[in-house]
Amino acid sequence: MIFVTVGTQRFPFDRLIRTLDELVCKKSITESIFAQIGYSNYEPAYFKAKKLLTPEEFLEYMDCASVVITHGGTSSIIHALKRRKKVLVVPRRKKYKEHIDDHQVEIAQMFYESGMIEVVDDILYLEDVVEKVKQTEYKVYVENESRLINDLASYLKQI
């Protein structure tokens, strides 16, 4: 199962949800998907979704997943890595009005450079990267590294 989370920011993330729905429709993704879609306006037709989850529901879906597709929020990424999930990050982008700035791009890049995740910068490559993440082994999350990444992420937010 693939678990998708877009976080709880009050911005839609239709770009990700719509693309996933299209990929499931054309059977490019055959695994079941459950998505926490937050304030997205687009409602998927080809997989199950809920706007918001309780913390318990969130962890339950994450624990059941083999792959986690998430926005570039540090907390969501770290929750998945701590559970040794394969993580694919699609950062929210300012130019699509998905966030107020592009700090998620910078956060995702830091995790990617550490060898722990995959990142999709261009949604057109989502299908290919979903396949890649399933077949790739990633570096295991280590708590000390997360402190460094969190410190860097906090610093970037202040800039």
CATH numbers and ranges of domains, the chain: 2-158 (3.40.50.2000)
What pLDDT, on a 0 to 100 scale, did the predictor assign at position 154?
Answer: 72
Strand duo 48-50 + 86-89: pairing: unpaired
Residue type, 45: A
Sheet holding 48-50, edge to edge: 48-50, 33-36, 2-5, 67-70, 86-89, 118-119
What pLDDT, on a 0 to 100 scale, did the predictor assign at position 158?
Answer: 72
- Under 8 Å CB-to-CB from 128, ≥6 apart: which residues? none
- Read off the DSSP letter of residue 94: G
pLDDT in tens, the chain (159 residues): 999 999 999 999 999 999 999 999 999 999 999 999 999 999 999 999 999 999 999 999 999 999 999 999 999 999 999 999 999 999 999 999 999 999 999 999 999 999 999 999 999 999 999 999 999 999 998 876 656 667 777 767 776
What pLDDT, on a 0 to 100 scale, did the predictor assign at position 147?
Answer: 65
The half-sphere exposure of 151 on its side-chain side, counting CA atoms within 13 A, is 6
pTM of this structure: 0.90
What pLDDT, on a 0 to 100 scale, did the predictor assign at position 75?
Answer: 93
What pLDDT, on a 0 to 100 scale, did the predictor assign at position 145?
Answer: 61
- Under 8 Å CB-to-CB from 27, ≥6 apart: which residues? none
Burial 51-86 (b: 16+ CB within 10 A, else e): eebeeeebeebbeebebbbbbbbbebbbbbbeeebb
For 39-58, how does the pLDDT look when each residue is reduced to its tens digit (9 = 90+)? 999 999 999 999 999 999 99
